[in-house]
């Protein structure tokens, strides 16, 4: 079966595949541009995106804004006419500044989760940038869409459902993650689709809904399309590609991982997170790692009590110090057995056959 296109208002992706945003530094212009060029939607993570800027430690916000502009420009040059999005975590400080920067610098769509991005519509006013909340339950979908309707007289252009098998920060309790370990979250997806229909009727527009979390191959994509979804979001599969912006050591953590290595860790964001077990996770489970340099990155983080600095942990990992950093991943990371290219991965995902030689 040929995969359908994904229509988001006046934007059209050749394939219904969104590459999930991965921070810090895992999905920048290299990966996002390559995905968009292949006909998917490439997504840059705005999380501490300026970590390679020389003044990142002393001038963090400006470094992040400068880097976000630069990465959007580079992704656009690589993607040509492809669709480029930006993922911005609501719990991050200066959220509005980053969202406005993304919109003013040509982001086609902003994806936002880890909370309810109440003022996202204001941040894109006067631009063509689409907005897509990332939610995990029918209640969350109804709350954010009612809020946008009441206060901004508009609705989402696309909705992303992130299920309990997603990577990184999870909008679920550990108990909920365990409860859905062996299912595809189908019951909740159908309930969310019913909620979205109410707002489609209210605003007389199609609101495509995509699902992310455990989507691994074309069979999975077809399954979720059969439920009435418009597409899928995939992140983990894109880590082990040559174009991914993370270090080779980071990518090889995925390639060499086993099922038992995929675990849940508590994050300073005050949410559970899925990551690969390594010496760093073992250490933070036994003792607190005092923060020596606070980047003031999170609204909910107290540097005096946080178990560790998540910015430092993620930067160490993406740069290759994987034993002393935090390596986020999805539930199926252990299934990856090699590093490929974005092009060959798209062939596999859209045609259902693996390219033997890269």
Map out the domains of the chain with their CATH numbers: 6-246+337-351 (3.20.20.70), 249-318 (no CATH)
Q: What pLDDT does residue 205 have? A: 97
Average pLDDT rounded to a whole number, residues 60-67: 96
Q: Write the CB contacts of 179 (distance below 8 Å, at least 6 apart in sequence).
A: 164
Distance in angstroms (rounded) separating the CA atoms of residues 160 and 294: 31
Least confident of 40-44, 71-75, 215-219, 264-268: 264-268
Strand partners for 11: 8
Helix 29-37 × helix 60-79 angle, to 10°: 30
Element (DSSP H or E) covering residue 235:
none
Average pLDDT rounded to a whole number, residues 174-180: 80
- Given a contact cutoff of 8 angstroms between Cβ atoms, the answer to whether 113 and 156 are in contact is no
Q: Long-range contacts: 208-211, Cβ < 8 Å, 24+?
A: 208/6, 208/7, 208/8, 208/158, 208/159, 209/158, 209/159, 209/160, 209/161, 210/6, 210/16, 210/18, 210/158, 210/159, 210/160, 210/161, 211/160, 211/161, 211/163, 211/185
- Given a contact cutoff of 8 angstroms between Cβ atoms, the answer to whether 215 and 221 are in contact is yes
More confident residue, 17 or 287: 17
What is the overall mean pLDDT for the chain?
A: 92
Strand partners for 210: 160, 231
Is the pLDDT at 194 greater than 80? The verdict is yes
Q: What pLDDT does residue 180 have? A: 82
Residue of 127, 81, 133 lying closest to 110 (CA atoms): 133
Residue of 153, 154, 100 lying closest to 129 (CA atoms): 100
Give 290's pLDDT tier (boundaries 50, 70, 90): confident
Give 294's pLDDT tier (boundaries 50, 70, 90): low
């Amino acid at each position: 079966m040929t995969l359908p296109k994904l229509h988001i208002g006046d934007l059209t992706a050749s394939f219904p595949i969104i590459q999930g945003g991965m921070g810090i530094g895992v999905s920048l212009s290299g990966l996002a541009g390559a995905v968009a060029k292949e006909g998917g939607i490439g997504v840059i993570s705005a999380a501490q995106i300026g970590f390679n800027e020389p003044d990142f430690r002393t001038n963090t916000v400006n470094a992040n804004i400068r880097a976000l502009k630069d990465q959007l420009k580079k992704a656009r040059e690589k993607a040509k006419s492809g669709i480029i999005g930006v993922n911005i975590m609501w719990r991050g400080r200066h959220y509005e500044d980053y969202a406005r920067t993304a919109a003013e610098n040509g982001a086609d769509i902003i994806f936002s989760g880890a909370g309810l991005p109440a003022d996202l519509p204001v941040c894109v006013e006067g631009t063509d940038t689409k907005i897509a909340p990332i939610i995990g339950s029918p209640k969350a979908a109804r709350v954010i869409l009612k809020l946008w309707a009441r206060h901004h007289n508009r609705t989402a252009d696309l909705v992303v459902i992130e299920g309990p098998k997603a990577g990184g920060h999870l909008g679920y309790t550990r108990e909920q993650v365990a409860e859905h370990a062996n299912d595809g979250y189908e019951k909740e997806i159908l309930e969310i689709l019913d909620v979205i229909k109410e707002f489609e009727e209210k605003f007389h527009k199609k609101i495509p809904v995509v699902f992310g979390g455990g989507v691994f191959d074309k069979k999975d994509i077809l399954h979720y399309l059969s439920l009435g979804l418009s597409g899928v979001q995939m992140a983990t599969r894109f880590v082990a590609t040559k174009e991914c912006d993370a270090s080779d050591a980071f990518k090889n953590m995925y390639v060499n991982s086993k099922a038992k290595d995929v675990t849940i860790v508590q994050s300073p964001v005050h949410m559970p997170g899925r990551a690969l077990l390594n010496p760093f996770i073992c250490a933070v489970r036994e003792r607190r790692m005092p923060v020596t340099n606070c980047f003031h990155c999170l609204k909910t983080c107290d540097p005096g009590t946080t178990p560790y600095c998540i910015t430092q942990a993620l930067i160490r990992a993406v740069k290759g110090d994987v034993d002393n950093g935090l390596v986020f991943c999805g539930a199926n990371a252990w299934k990856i057995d090699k590093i490929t290219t974005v092009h060959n991965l798209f062939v596999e995902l859209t045609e259902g056959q693996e390219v033997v030689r890269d």
